[in-house]
């Protein structure tokens, strides 16, 4: 297997995630798309780790995983706070920060 | 020699379930499709000689994140049970398709056009022991930064989502706005 196959898989996942993050209306739907993008990045890191033979590169993947989990925790807390304030999670209709 | 077969199956299933995550109309089903994407990525890690990454992927994501997402969905629904809708804006589909398709085309052109990527073969395989050694010796700063990040995220999530009736200082609040 060449590196290009794995990198193409990662690129496909990333672009699908971008499409979802741009089109979704619910906050949780956008968070799901961001998860897909983070996974694509991790596939790329694991690929580079394998073909460079360095454990440092795998460490990046571990770092990204922990970052994503922290992001999900804070993101879902924000979603719950938003729901308490406006009783829905449709971010198109949230205009508190807009003038 | 098993690798191309497994990779073919994993990538096909991964791309299809990722498409389902961004296009399915039911939010709970979207989370379950995401679980499939995460498991596919875990298998991809295993065939990429990173079994440690595969295991923590299953533990953290398929175990933790998916459960957390389902909890958040159940806490933020107004009736409707599991038939919660997750719609995409039809007006934004065209531009989003152009942006993501264009980016994919650009990346595929760069990846497939590179000679060094096409001929590269697997190098020395990093294993869990090597990863642990780097994490606790050379790159110990990354380890410490991660622990502080996780602590800050935990405290932040509790402070943001806390309700007033648990005492303590005034919780974070949105300004009430009229429903449109």
SS3 of A50-99: the string is HHHCCHHHHHHHHHHHHHHHHHHHHHHHHHHHHHHHHCCCEHHHCCCCCC
pLDDT for B88: 74
CATH number at residue B30: 1.20.120.1200
Q: What is the pLDDT of residue B149?
A: 93
Residue B16 vs residues A32, A34, A49, B5, B20: alpha-carbon distances, Å: 15, 17, 26, 17, 6
Q: A38-64 burial, b if ≥16 CB within 10 A, otherwise e?
A: bbbbbbbbbbbbbbbebbbbbbbbbbb
Identify the pLDDT of residue B134: 87
Q: Looking at mean pLDDT, say which of A46-50, B87-91, B167-171 comes out highest.
A: A46-50
In a domain, B137, yes or no: yes
A97 found inside a domain: no
ipTM score assigned to the predicted complex? 0.91
Under the banding of pLDDT at 50, 70 and 90, the label for residue B40 is: very high
- Residue B83 pLDDT: 57
The whole-angstrom distance between B134's CA and the closest CA on chain A is: 7
**pLDDT digits over B117-164, tens only?**
766 666 666 678 888 888 889 889 989 999 999 999 999 888 887 776
Q: Which of B52, B117, B124 sits opposite A3 (nearest CB)?
A: B117
- Is B78 at the interface with chain A, CB within 8 A? yes
3-state DSSP call for residue A42?
helix
Q: Does some domain include residue A98?
A: no
pTM of the model: 0.86
CATH number at residue A19: 1.10.287.3510
Place of tokens 């196959």: A5
The closest CB to that of A18, out of B86, B99, B173, belongs to B99
Domain assignment present for residue A28? The answer is yes
Query: Looking at the domain assignment, is residue B174 inside a domain?
Result: no
Whether B103 maps to a domain, the answer reads no
Least CB–CB distance from A20: residue in B7, B22, B127? B22
Q: Has residue A96 got a pLDDT over 60? A: yes
Backbone angles phi, psi at B62, to 5 degrees: -65, -30
Query: What pLDDT shows up at residue B11?
Result: 93
* Contact call for B96 and A65, based on CB within 8 A: no
B158–A contact, CB cutoff 8 A: yes
Q: What is the per-residue pLDDT for B81?
A: 54
Contact A50 B50 (CB under 8 A): yes
């Amino acid at each position: 297997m060449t590196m290009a196959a794995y990198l193409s898989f990662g690129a496909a996942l990333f672009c699908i995630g971008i499409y979802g993050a741009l089109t979704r209306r619910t906050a949780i739907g956008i968070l799901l798309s961001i998860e897909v993008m983070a996974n694509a990045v991790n596939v790329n890191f694991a690929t580079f780790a394998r073909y460079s033979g360095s454990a440092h590169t795998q460490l990046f993947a571990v770092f990204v995983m922990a970052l994503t989990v922290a992001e999900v925790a804070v993101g879902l807390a924000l979603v719950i706070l938003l729901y308490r304030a406006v009783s829905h999670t449709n971010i198109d209709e949230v205009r508190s920060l807009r003038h | 020699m098993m690798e191309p077969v497994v990779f073919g199956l994993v990538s096909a299933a991964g791309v299809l379930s990722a498409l389902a995550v961004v296009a399915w109309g039911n939010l709970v089903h979207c989370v379950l499709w995401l679980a499939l994407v995460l498991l596919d990525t875990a298998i991809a890690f295993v065939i990429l000689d990173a079994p440690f990454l595969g295991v923590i992927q299953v533990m953290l994501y398929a175990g933790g994140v998916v459960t957390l997402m389902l909890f958040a969905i159940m806490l933020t629904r107004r009736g409707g049970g599991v038939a919660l809708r997750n719609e995409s804006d039809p007006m934004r589909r065209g531009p989003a398709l152009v942006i993501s398709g264009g980016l994919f085309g650009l990346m595929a052109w760069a990846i497939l056009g590179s000679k060094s990527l096409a001929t590269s073969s697997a190098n020395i395989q990093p294993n869990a022991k090597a990863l642990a050694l780097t994490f606790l010796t050379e790159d110990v700063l990354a380890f410490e930064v991660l622990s502080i990040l996780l602590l800050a995220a935990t405290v932040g999530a509790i402070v943001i989502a806390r309700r007033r009736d648990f005492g303590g200082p005034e919780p974070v609040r949105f300004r009430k706005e009229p429903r449109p």
